[in-house]
Structure 1
Amino acid sequence: MKHVIALAVKGVASLALLYVILGLIYGMSFGNVLFITLVLGLVAYIIGDLLILPRTNNLVASIADFGLALMVIWLMNSVLTNEGNILSMSFIASLGVALFEYFYHKYISTNVIDNSQTEKKYSGNLRYQTEASEELTPNREEIKNEKEDK
């Protein structure tokens, strides 16, 4: 149930954000914005929120979401529309998505992801010590004597 609520929050917020940027500013139709939001939301939730975020930190996951959003929005814009400024439109929309994802990751990490499995257990005793011996090279006569005794 936590994942359903998280997907719903992400879907509604992403739809509103992308509609303001892509729909109102750049004049894309609501159907295209909805389709881009659905595809981007599912892909970014699986890759960015469930795979990258638990293994890294919020900043790395947000940067990965920016790159993922840029690729998905640019690819879908190039297929769905024939406008000339597709790259700048995708870049601005991806910046908005990355900014939203930064705050969304805080919600995900506290309410959805079980951090007990991925936390590094620190025992507090990390005193490393090297081992040294008295001799650097073995004495050849002792080795020969050991072989003869056997």
Structure 2
Amino acid sequence: MNHLQAFLIKTAATFLLLLIILGLLFQYTIGDVFILTLIIGVVSYLLGDLMLLPRTTNIMATISDFAIAMLITWFYLANITVSTTNVFFASFLTAIGVALFEMFFHRYMINRILHRKDDFGRISTLRYNTEISEEITPDPYKIKDEE
């Protein structure tokens, strides 16, 4: 149920964002905006939010969501658009808007859906350190002295 709620929040916000950018600024139809919202929503939720975000940081997941939104929007708009509009600029603005929203949505996902926190109650970034000792190789003179 939590994943459904998160997906609906993501879909609604992405639809409003795409409606403002693509619908008002570039005069695309609501049907095109809705189809693009569903494609971006499903792909970025599965790849960015469920697969990449639990394993990396918010910044990495946001960069991947920017790339996903840019590529999907560019491919979709290039195939449905007459050559009178600048498809790259529309895709770039859409990807920036989606990435800005995703920065905040990822915090919601980490806190409410994934529950990824460390021992002190902070958001964990899963950066593990290795233990380093003083001696990398044994000193043969110390071994002889101990015998």
TM range (shorter): 0.7 to 0.9
Q: Which residue matches 1:77?
A: 77
Secondary structure in structure 1 of the residue aligned to 2:114: coil
TM-aligned CA distance change 1:28 to 1:111, over 3 Å: same
1:68 alignment partner in structure 2: 68
> Equivalents in 1 of 2:82, 2:110: separation in Å?
39
Deviation at 1:119, TM superposition (A): 6.7
1:133 deviates by 3.0
Say which of 133, 139, 142 aligns to 2:139.
133
Unpaired runs of 5+ in structure 1?
136-150
Cα displacement string for residues 128-147 of structure 1 (whole angstroms, at most 9, x for unaligned residues): 23242326xxxxxxxxxxxx
Q: Percent identity?
A: 34
**TM-score for the superposition, normalised by structure 1:** 0.81
User: 2:107 maps to what in 1?
Assistant: 106
Q: Aligned AA for 1:46?
A: L
- Runs of at least 4 residues off by over 2 Å: 114-123
Q: For 1:1-150, list aligned pairs within 5 A.
A: 1-83=1-83, 84-115=85-116, 120=126, 126-130=131-135, 131-134=137-140
Which one-letter code corresponds to 2:55 in the other structure? R
Partner Cα distance (2:73, 2:126) in 1: 35
Larger radius of gyration: 1
- The alignment covers a number of residue pairs equal to 134
- With over 3 angstroms needed to count, the CA separation of the structure-2 counterparts of 1:110 and 1:81, relative to structure 1, is same
